[in-house]
């Protein structure tokens, strides 16, 4: 077993408008990317469970082969920068992805 953070070159989150946060997991090695995809450790269902959210909050989920990337976007609970928003740029939301176990 390996951690996703050991396999991906980039794991990040950022704003995708005022009401969404987008996540990117980017690999430099196509074979590693393919293995991670085939393991199904990242799907809309597993992302919802990892972030303790309803699957309906996932706006998009894409396995983007040309870039060896898995990308997903979630709806925010409250608009970016509004009262009670703890991460105006959405840049601190990727941490739960780092320790995702991948059976490679």
| pLDDT digit string, tens, across residues 35-90 | 999 999 999 999 999 999 999 999 999 999 999 999 999 999 888 988 988 898 99
Distance between CA atoms of residues 19 and 62, nearest Å: 19
What pLDDT, on a 0 to 100 scale, did the predictor assign at position 81? 87
Spatial strand order in the sheet of 10-15 = 10-15, 20-26, 69-75, 58-64
In the chain, what is the straight-line distance between the N-terminal and C-terminal CA atoms, in Å?
A: 6
**pTM of this prediction exceeds 0.75:** yes
Mean pLDDT within 90-95: 95
E strands, the chain, are 2-3, 10-15, 20-26, 58-64, 69-75, 101-102
């Amino acid at each position: 077993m390996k951690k996703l953070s050991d396999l991906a070159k980039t794991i990040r989150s950022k704003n995708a408008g005022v009401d969404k946060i987008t996540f990117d997991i980017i690999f430099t090695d196509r074979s590693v990317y393919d293995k991670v995809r085939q393991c199904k450790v990242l799907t809309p269902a597993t992302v919802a469970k990892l972030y303790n959210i309803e699957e309906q909050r996932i706006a998009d989920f894409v396995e983007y082969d040309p870039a060896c990337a898995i990308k997903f976007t979630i709806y925010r609970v409250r608009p970016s920068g509004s009262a009670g928003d703890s991460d105006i740029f959405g840049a601190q939301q990727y941490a739960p992805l780092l320790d995702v176990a991948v059976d490679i």
